[in-house]
Amino acid sequence: MKRPQLFFSVSLLLFLVCSYLLFSGSPLLNFPLGKNDTLPLGSFSTWAIMISLPFALYWGSSRFRTPQGKAYKVLSVILKILIVLGILWLPLSYFLAGNMNFNFSEVDSFRGGQLAMKIFWVLSTGIPLSSILVLLVSGLLFIFKKKK
């Protein structure tokens, strides 16, 4: 198996397993990883989703790795930015929430407050939705290019 196929397969499998755990509400998500029960497995599972979805798209299509044309070059750059944001999702989320459970409250300070929560949700929904949008635009470009 070639390297791109291996990276694609592993990241797609990771995305599917972690998505299943997340959407099924598995009790494993609450499994503590830290000494004081402060590191839930769900945080790392979500982080894996944030990284593996754009990573699978990048390695799943050679059009993103070696883009031909201006549109695919833009989509490739967007996907690389999404991969970096996915990698940074856990530390950014911890900074915003002030805890690894990503709990927010009505505090007056930024960290753990309502503004931080809004930024957290934009980041948490923006990465997967933007990845899906890149996939859809790429598919449309492929379809319209084939019709010509």
**What residue spans define the domains of the chain?**
3-147
Tens digits of residue pLDDT in 77-124: 999 999 999 999 999 999 999 888 888 998 888 999 999 999 999 999
User: Binning pLDDT at 50, 70 and 90, where does residue 31 land?
Assistant: confident
The percentage of the chain sitting over the pLDDT mark of 90, rounded to a whole number, equals 62
In whole angstroms, give the CA distance from residue 93 to residue 89.
Answer: 6
Closest-CA residue to 22 (of 51, 7, 44): 44
Element (H, E) at 141: helix 114-147
Phi, psi dihedral angles at 99 (to 5 degrees): -155, 160
User: Binning pLDDT at 50, 70 and 90, where does residue 37 land?
Assistant: low
C-alpha pair distances (Å), 12 with each of 58, 85, 139: 11, 18, 18
Q: Give me the residue label for tokens 């900074």.
A: 95
- pLDDT exceeds cutoff 80 at 3: yes
- pLDDT exceeds cutoff 70 at 14: yes
Tens digits of residue pLDDT in 67-85: 988 999 999 999 999 999 9
In whole angstroms, give the CA distance from residue 11 to residue 26.
Answer: 20
In whole angstroms, give the CA distance from residue 40 to residue 66.
Answer: 38
pTM attached to this predicted model: 0.88
Predicted confidence at residue 147, as pLDDT, reads 67
- pLDDT exceeds cutoff 70 at 148: no
Residue 121, amino acid: W
Predicted confidence at residue 144, as pLDDT, reads 85
What is the mean pLDDT of the segment spanning 34-60?
87
Torsion angle, alpha carbons of 16, 20, 22, 23, to 10: 120
Report the DSSP beta bridge partners of residue 32: 40
